Amino acid sequence: MKIGIPKGLGTYEYPILYTKFFELLGIEVVLSEDTNHEIIDKGIELSIDENCLASKIFMGHVANLAKRDNLDYIFIPRLCTFSNQDTVCVKFYALYDICKNVFKDSKFLTINIDYQKGENELKAFVKLGRKLGINYSKIVAAYLKARNMQRVYDNKKLRLQNESLKKGNINILLVAHSYIAYDKYMGHNVSKYLVDNNINVVYANINSSSNSDNYTNISSNIYWKSSKNLLNGIIEYKERVDGIIYLSAFPCGIDCLVNELSLRKIADIPSINIIIDEQDGTAGLYTRLESFIDILEQNKENKKVVNI
Claim to verify: residue 79 and residue 204 sit in the same structural domain: no
Do residue 213 and residue 126 come from a single domain? no
* Count of CB atoms situated within 10 Å of the CB of 216: 14
Pairing of strands 199-203, 28-31: unpaired
Number of DSSP helices (H) and strands (E) in the chain, helices first:
11, 10
Say yes or no: 77 and 191 in one domain.
no
Look up residue 20 and give its amino acid.
Answer: K
Domain boundary among 118, 148, 178: 148
Domain identity same for 122 and 175: no
* Residues 125 and 173 grouped into a single domain: no
CB 306 within 8 A of CB 270: yes
Question: Within this chain, do residues 143 and 174 fall inside the same structural domain, yes or no?
Answer: no
Are the C-beta atoms of residues 39 and 14 closer than 8 Å to each other? no
Strand order from edge to edge, sheet including 243-249: 199-203, 170-175, 243-249, 271-276
Asked if 164 contacts 200 with a C-beta cutoff of 8 angstroms, the reply is yes
Question: Three-state SS for 66?
Answer: helix
What is the per-residue pLDDT for 307?
A: 56
- What's the pLDDT band for 168 if we cut at 50, 70, 90? low
141 and 268 housed in the same domain:
no
**Any alpha helices (H) in the chain, and if so which ranges?**
15-24, 37-46, 53-66, 90-102, 121-131, 136-167, 178-181, 188-196, 225-237, 253-265, 283-302
Q: What is the largest CA-CA distance in the chain?
A: 65
CATH code for the domain in which residue 73 is found: 3.40.50
| Shared domain check, 25 and 71 | yes
Specify the pLDDT at position 305: 54
**Residue 83's pLDDT band (cuts 50, 70, 90):** confident
pLDDT at 78 > cutoff 90: yes
- Range of the structural domain that residue 217 is part of: 168-302
Q: Pick the range with the lowest mean pLDDT from 23-37, 46-60, 288-302.
A: 288-302
Q: Which residues are registered as beta bridge partners of 108?
A: 74
Both 7 and 137 in one domain: the answer is yes
In a domain, 307, yes or no: no
pLDDT, residue 308, reads 56
3-state DSSP assignment of residue 221: coil
Q: How many domains does the chain have?
A: 2
Length of the chain in terms of residues written: 308
Q: What is the pLDDT of residues 121-157, one digit of tens each?
A: 999 999 999 999 999 999 999 999 999 999 999 999 9
Q: What distance in Å separates the CA atoms of residue 236 and residue 232, rounded to the nearest whole number?
A: 6
Cβ–Cβ < 8 Å for 252, 52: yes
Compute the distance between CA of residue 231 and CA of residue 176 in angstroms, rounded to an integer: 10
Q: According to the model, what pLDDT value does residue 213 have?
A: 85
Residues 6+ apart with CB under 8 A from 209: 232, 233, 235, 236
The overall average pLDDT reported for the chain is 92
118 and 175 both lie in a single domain: no
Instruction: Look at residue 162 and tell me whether its pLDDT is greater than 80.
Output: yes
Within this chain, do residues 144 and 173 fall inside the same structural domain, yes or no? no
Residue 210 has pLDDT above 90, yes or no: no
For residue range 225-243, list pLDDT tens digits in order.
Answer: 999 999 999 999 999 999 9
In a domain, 100, yes or no: yes
Q: Residue 251's domain is classified under what CATH number?
A: 3.40.50.11900
Give ∠ CA 87-93-95 in degrees, rounded to 5. Answer: 140
What's the burial of 235, exposed, middle or buried (CB within 10 Å: 0-12/13-18/19+)? buried
Last residue of a domain, one of 120, 148, 176: 148
pLDDT at 223 over 90: no
CA–CA separation, 108 and 121 (whole Å): 19
Residue 161 lies in a domain: no
* Neighbouring C-beta atoms of residue 159, cutoff 10 Å: 12
Q: Are residues 101 and 184 in the same domain?
A: no
Please give the pLDDT value at position 41: 95
CA distance 9 to 91: 9
CB 244: neighbour CB atoms within 10 A?
Answer: 25
Instruction: Using pLDDT thresholds of 50, 70 and 90, give the confidence band for residue 260.
Output: very high
The answer to whether the CB of 276 falls within 8 A of the CB of 186 is yes
